[in-house]
Amino acid sequence: MMELVCPAGTPAALRAAVEAGAHAVYCGFNDETNARNFPGLNFNREEMAEGVAHAHARGAKVLVAINTFPRAGDQGLWHRAVADAGAAGADAVILADIGLLAHAAEKHPGLRLHLSVQAAAANPDAINLYAESFGVKRVVLPRVLTVDEIAAINREIDVETEVFVFGGLCVMAEGRCALSSYATGKSPNMNGVCSPASHVAYAEVNGAQEARLGEFLIHRTPKGATAPYPTLCKGCFSSPDAKGNDQVGHIFEDPASLDATHLIPALQKAGVSALKIEGRQRSRAYVAQVVRAFRAAVEAADRGLPMPESLLAKLTEGQASTTGAYAKIWR
């Protein structure tokens, strides 16, 4: 059966994920070393050790994401995170930075290494380099590939692949987006936050809900209408058309979330080892519902049964879903 890798932003979410049938849970420390460095979220050292013990006692694994890029001169924070994840009993660490991979391979040879989606390794040459140089055992593929491309990659590599099947989409080649840095000075790659809450302001203006990121107005939605996350890539902007008239639209991407439920059998055939659910910033209610639905889907795929209808639409951003790049209907 394909492994179901589920998000946990808090110990309560970790317990909810395990209870709902996660084979593995991924989580991070409460600092800049992980790409979901949100206020009130994540695990301190003690909570991490307890979380690992809780998951292991119930047959689930814990993967610790240390997937931001260390700042030169400040590597100590990231090195400590790797050592502490190992000491807590983590089954693997999910890393993105080449220097940190080298450090982990050298100093913690017994620790299993997964390559984060943030490393954006999207072809066999890149993946094989990480496998040969650092002993990486699994690669999380960026969300820019079709199912056929994933199958072709799997034929040319010896490591496991993990792909996203549900949750918020980051449209850029992962780890290469500068939109958040441009607007706020903080980025997912360096600080673990895209469009950080500290720079987001909502206000009701003339009966509409406005969202600003830094100095940019990124949405104006009528009261009660669906609203997306305040990320620049999902902003709705106006720009003059050829005749100088205002045209309004989502310039980068429509606010829709990934739901690849019905592609699970195809991904299994393509040789994918693990399926990942996005959403460490979400509540334990989200975790429990999504994990339960996907555990049923993975089991159905394993028995060659048809995929259950997805009932998760209301949990998705913009309350609309897409199969993203997998089926090439990318905008």
Residues forming the site for ligand SF4 (CB under 6 A): 170-172, 177, 179-180, 188, 194, 231-233
Residue 221 interacts with which of other proteins, ligand SF4, none, CB < 5 to 8 Å by class: other proteins
- Least Å distance, CB 149 to other proteins, is 31
- Least Å distance, CB 195 to other proteins, is 10
198, 163, 162, 160: which is closest to 180 by C-alpha?
A: 198
The span from the CA of 64 to the CA of 190, in Å, is 17
Residue 36 interacts with which of ligand SF4, other proteins, none, CB < 5 to 8 Å by class: none
Residue 233 interacts with which of ligand SF4, other proteins, none, CB < 5 to 8 Å by class: ligand SF4
Helix (H, G, I), strand (E, B) or coil at 331: coil
Burial 124-145 (b: 16+ CB within 10 A, else e): eebbbebbeebebebbbbbbbb
DSSP string computed for 183-216:
HHS--HHHHS-SS-GGGEEEEEETTEEEEEETTE
- Least Å distance, CB 282 to ligand SF4, is 15
The span from the CA of 307 to the CA of 294, in Å, is 10
**Per DSSP, what are the bridge partners of residue 27?**
64
- Least Å distance, CB 252 to ligand SF4, is 7
The span from the CA of 103 to the CA of 301, in Å, is 38
CB-nearer residue toward other proteins: 47 or 149: 47
- Least Å distance, CB 121 to ligand SF4, is 17
**Which residues of this protein are in contact with other proteins, per CB under 8 A?**
9-13, 15-16, 19-20, 38-41, 196-198, 200-204, 209, 221, 223-229, 281-286, 288-289, 314-319
- Least Å distance, CB 21 to other proteins, is 10
Residue 184 interacts with which of ligand SF4, other proteins, none, CB < 5 to 8 Å by class: none
Amino acid occupying residue 290: V
CB-nearer residue toward other proteins: 129 or 201: 201
Residue 202 interacts with which of ligand SF4, other proteins, none, CB < 5 to 8 Å by class: other proteins
The span from the CA of 154 to the CA of 12, in Å, is 35
CB-nearer residue toward ligand SF4: 159 or 171: 171
The span from the CA of 154 to the CA of 146, in Å, is 12
CB-nearer residue toward other proteins: 12 or 53: 12
Measured in Å, how far apart are the chain's first and last C-alpha atoms? 32
CB-nearer residue toward ligand SF4: 70 or 167: 167
